[in-house]
Amino acid sequence: MYSSKWSRLDNAAKIFPPNTTKDDTKVFRLSCELYEAVDPGILASALGAALDRFPLYRFIIRRGFFWYYFTPSDLQPLVREEYKVPCAPLYDVNRKNLLFEVTYWKMRINLEAYHALSDGAGALQFFKTIVYHYLLERHGMDETVRLDSSDASDEQKGGDPFDRFYSKGRVPTMPRAPRAYRVRGARFPESRVGIIEGRLSTGALIGKARSCQATISEFLTALLISAIHEGMTSRDEERPVSITVPVDLRKYFGGGSAAARNFFGLINVSHNFRLQGGSFREVLEEVKRSYKSQLRPEKLYERLNLLLAFEHALYIKMVPLAIKVPALKTAARTADRGNSASFSNMGKISMPPAMVPHIRLFGVFYGAKGPHVCLCSFEDNLAISFLSPFVSRDIQRAFFRSLSALGLDIEIVSNLGEG
Q: What letter does residue 212 receive in the DSSP assignment?
A: T
Topology of domain 189-349+367-414, per CATH? Chloramphenicol Acetyltransferase (3.30.559)
| Euclidean distance between CA atoms 1 and 157, whole angstroms | 10
Statement: 7-163 belongs to CATH 3.20.20.10: no
Q: What is the pLDDT of residue 331?
A: 83
3-state secondary structure (DSSP) of residue 170: coil
Q: Phi first, then psi: what are they for 55, rounded to 5°?
A: -65, -20
| Euclidean distance between CA atoms 362 and 378, whole angstroms | 6
Each of the 419 residues of the chain gets a pLDDT tens digit; together they read 444 578 888 888 999 999 999 889 999 999 999 999 999 999 999 999 999 999 999 999 999 888 899 999 999 999 999 999 999 999 998 889 999 999 999 999 999 999 999 999 999 999 999 999 999 999 999 877 888 754 444 545 556 777 776 666 655 566 677 899 999 999 999 888 999 999 999 999 999 999 999 999 999 999 999 999 999 999 999 999 999 999 999 888 865 556 788 899 999 999 999 999 999 999 999 999 999 999 998 888 888 877 776 666 656 778 898 988 898 898 888 888 989 999 999 999 999 999 999 999 999 999 878 999 999 999 999 999 999 999 999 999 999 999 999 999 999 999 876 54
Asked if domains 7-163 and 189-349+367-414 share a fold, the reply is yes
3-state secondary structure (DSSP) of residue 33: strand
| Euclidean distance between CA atoms 204 and 376, whole angstroms | 14
| Euclidean distance between CA atoms 218 and 271, whole angstroms | 13
| Euclidean distance between CA atoms 185 and 83, whole angstroms | 28
* For the chain, domain boundaries: 7-163, 189-349+367-414
- C-alpha dihedral over 55, 60, 63, 68, to 10 degrees? 40
Q: What is the pLDDT of residue 257?
A: 59
| Euclidean distance between CA atoms 187 and 171, whole angstroms | 41
End-to-end distance of the chain based on CA atoms, in angstroms?
49
DSSP 87-112: T-----TTS---SEEEEEETTEEEEE
Cβ contact 356:379 at 8 Å: yes
| Euclidean distance between CA atoms 83 and 275, whole angstroms | 48
From the number of C-beta atoms within 10 Å of its C-beta (0-12, 13-18, 19+), residue 81 rates as exposed
Q: Where are the alpha helices (DSSP H) in 212-320?
A: 216-229, 273-276, 280-294, 297-312, 314-317
